[in-house]
Chains A and B, each alone.
Chain A
């Protein structure tokens, strides 16, 4: 029985502090049930001195999956390398990958809004390419937006032989317990994220979405705001100073805007907020990932939307439930189906939707 399962090795630097490690940890727990799973840990220069994320350690221990550090050779039927950006500070990739199929899951957008590169993409992909021997080598986007940035980046490169783009998105697995929305929502707004500057919009936007008319404004991960001149009605909480569940229980509206020069590739915090029964308002592109239950709006529209849903609790509840229903697309079973389609499908390149220049993608 076990021999009939596909052999899969997940390659990761397990010292990512945020969403990448959480996503991989969940993936270990899920994939170990339908794969012969191993984890190959890579100690990249990016996280020098850090330790592995506890969620990954816990997942390996819970599932009995072996994690090997810096193996000279990583050989398996399928190798899945998560988040190639961990190689951005390395001059070479010490491990050799030998596989039938190699998937590189692109947790970070290749391009930022405005066109700047998100990280040294070509450098990282070149390191992987020169270290790998495989029948197919595919980039696996984690969302529609992430896929778009890969296409757009590829267009700037013009030619990237040896790589394909997977047809299916390699989405995060969101297996959260769903909680009911509150019956009478109040104007209690908040957001959570890592404290990086890319995670926060400018102060003008923050003032717009968190005005002093709010009953409560709570911001978790607000380290960079705490040293600034900000309104006294904002309750600023340092990163990791409060458990996410406890934090989410104190708000009814999760208002999430990032820096306009950066965008979430998936938005795991949004999925967490949805699962916790919160109405999420975010920018239209990010909202699209989670379907119609999440409201996409411009910052200046936020106050009206909040007021509208406070005045209509039933509308609030139905919107949250719609969003929660949408999370099923990110369930473990949905992931397994997509995984099976992905590995069974042709070693594919794809075409940018609506692109007139098909030749470029034919080269990928």
Chain B
């Protein structure tokens, strides 16, 4: 294995190191960065960049070392390298611009004193027109575009130039291109203010250059070439991908490139016409010319790295057992308040033509349920109060990326698109689908969700049963609405009777009526008061059997076990209990709400609300306004007893009858699965 390191210590050096290493890894070089080489001061983006490039394996005599960072190694980098090499004489290749004998001698000597090996010095090739510095620049693995429309990116446009803003607006509304803007971290916010959510915005460090380049078919360069390795790597990958590159700078700042760049304009109307009339018809010719260009040749992998890439290595070789197979689809549900996302994913996966294609990456609380449903699942790491906020997601990024290698697509179900998902999708160039809730709270801040929907090829929106609930989702051109996704039990009276008998036998209680309480995981809000109220009230009714469902991973209150006719049940099979209930007291999460509705189960809904959740109150209100259920606000604890009595004394059966007579939309399980299969062929 090759280790990669830098002979400098500033933050920029490690940014360059991560990009260089990712470029090489993408080109098939078995290269990694040792964890001990990295400082504690890395920013979050750099940590994500580096996560899948870092190794804990210590160098040995079979290792190699690749160094970058200029011709003057810093003292502290030499100390770091000496410690890392651990006395092993590891063959070392050192890339730089050693333009004098003295520079060569000094660089080789200083390194050899520190690491005990005389390095092989390699002069970095200078590429005319690009300000590459001393770091070798080369194209990573080429990506072939499969986009339906040409994807056009304005690269580093000036937000203060009205002509540029107009051009971007004009092209983004033309429907000829999928337009995006590549800008700086600071510029992204400014562009969001100018363009709104309609144009995908990327900042240069949001993902690695090879992932970014894979999003672009036509690059409109709006600024001069920069001396920034990350930027130059993006250019190199565009060249490698045979993208069309347009110099739209007024002073033709890219004209010093040997070839490969086409002079263009930032006049919106002229640009659109020119692209449509002159460029698009010649796309194949331009790509061929780029492939044969001097620029492309100058961006070949350096010989030393090419030799390493041709050598088999476990770091690059595909490995791992049953979670890798042809055409696999990686499903990643978040664990929200409950297990709803995972449950919904399992239903969609189960509706695939070949459910064996589905593998899951899921949080620990969901694993058992997914395994019970017959799916393999790789565990993700939950957030820990003892670690920095994003630490678990960085680990998940590496796990998810590994799982995604060779996959046919990734399906995400959740409200917040974690950075791990974005990067795993883009790093592996996967078709991706987001199963996104339709019901958003009006006051929610959805900026991250809106920003990151750009990575998904399709957004599948499972609709709500009632029309008025299907309007609040953010707009997306590539969204597909499907009917409610749920597990449906069509049980006749004999089935219900048998099911209830089995339940009563299992919990060693018998009674005339079965009440099931399922008020949520207690993550979003403390529900103990409501649960205690239900338990205490039903304790006075000896003919009622009360099943209190709690999530297997949730904490139970000891008081719940003191009521004679209440049984606390930890189960992944709540759907079956719902189907057997005479009355359900439930939160109004998507799954339980629709299971109650479609199963015609009379329900008192006590919505669980938090800023990051869907709008459970609106859902419960929609049903109660149709007299299909009862809505009790969480703070109306004292009303619960009277309403339970009212329901058990006849209102529940009336609701059941009305539910049975209600025309509900067809389920969306199959359509969601077909949509996924279409995208991830």
Contact = CB atoms under 8 A, between A and B. Distances in A.
B109 A262 contact: yes
Contact of A229 (B83, B102, B116): B83
B78 A224 contact: yes
Contact of B113 (A89, A203, A227, A262): A262
User: Among B109, B113, B114, B118, which residue has the most Cβ atoms of chain A within 10 A?
Assistant: B113
Interface string A165-183: 0000000000000000000
Given A114-B118, A197-B78, A204-B87, A261 B109 contact: yes
A197 B101 contact: no
Contacts of B114: 197
Interface in A113-127: 114, 116-120, 122-123
Interface in B75-102: 75-76, 78-79, 82-83, 87, 100-102
B110 interface: yes
Contact of B105 (A119, A196, A198): A119
Given A116-B118, A224-B79, A261 B112 contact: yes
A221 to B, nearest CB: 13
Contacts of B588: none
Contacts of A197: 75, 78, 82, 110, 113-114
A116 B105 contact: yes
Interface in B418-436: none
Interface size grouping (class) on chain A: 20 to 34
A112 interface: yes
Interface of B: 75-76, 78-79, 82-83, 87, 100-102, 105-106, 108-110, 112-114, 116, 118
Contacts of B76: 227
30 contacts: A88-B102, A112-B109, A116-B112, A117-B101, A118-B105, A118-B109, A119-B105, A119-B106, A120-B100, A120-B105, A123-B100, A123-B101, A123-B102, A197-B78, A197-B82, A197-B113, A198-B113, A200-B113, A203-B82, A204-B87, A223-B75, A224-B75, A227-B79, A228-B79, A228-B83, A229-B83, A261-B112, A261-B113, A261-B116, A262-B113
B113 A228 contact: no
Contacts of A227: 76, 79
Across the A-B interface, give the 7 residue pairs with the lowest CB-CB distance, nearest first.
A197-B113, A120-B102, A120-B101, A88-B102, A198-B113, A259-B113, A197-B114
A110 to B, nearest CB: 11
Contacts of A88: 102
A329 B140 CA distance: 64
B113 A117 contact: no
A155 interface: no
A202 B87 CA distance: 8
A202 B109 contact: no
Nearest to A258: B113
Nearest to A262: B113
Contacts of B82: 197, 203, 228
A198 B109 contact: yes
Given A123-B101, A202-B116, A262-B113, A116 B79 contact: no
Given A202-B87, A227-B79, A228-B83, 12 more contacts: A116-B112, A118-B105, A120-B100, A123-B102, A197-B78, A203-B87, A223-B75, A224-B75, A224-B78, A224-B79, A227-B76, A261-B113
Contacts of A114: 118
B82 to A, nearest CB: 7
A270 B65 CA distance: 36
A97 B114 CA distance: 39
Nearest to A202: B116
Interface in A80-111: 88-89
A89 B105 contact: no
Nearest to B83: A228
Nearest to B110: A197
A117 to B, nearest CB: 5
Contacts of B79: 224, 227-228
A196 B100 CA distance: 22
Contacts of B108: 116
Contacts of B78: 197, 224
A112 B111 CA distance: 14
A227 B102 CA distance: 28
A120 B113 CA distance: 18
Contacts of A228: 79, 82-83
User: Among A196, A197, A198, which residue has the most Cβ atoms of chain B within 10 A?
Assistant: A197
A196 B75 CA distance: 9
Nearest to B108: A116
A62 to B, nearest CB: 35
B104 to A, nearest CB: 8
A259 B75 CA distance: 16
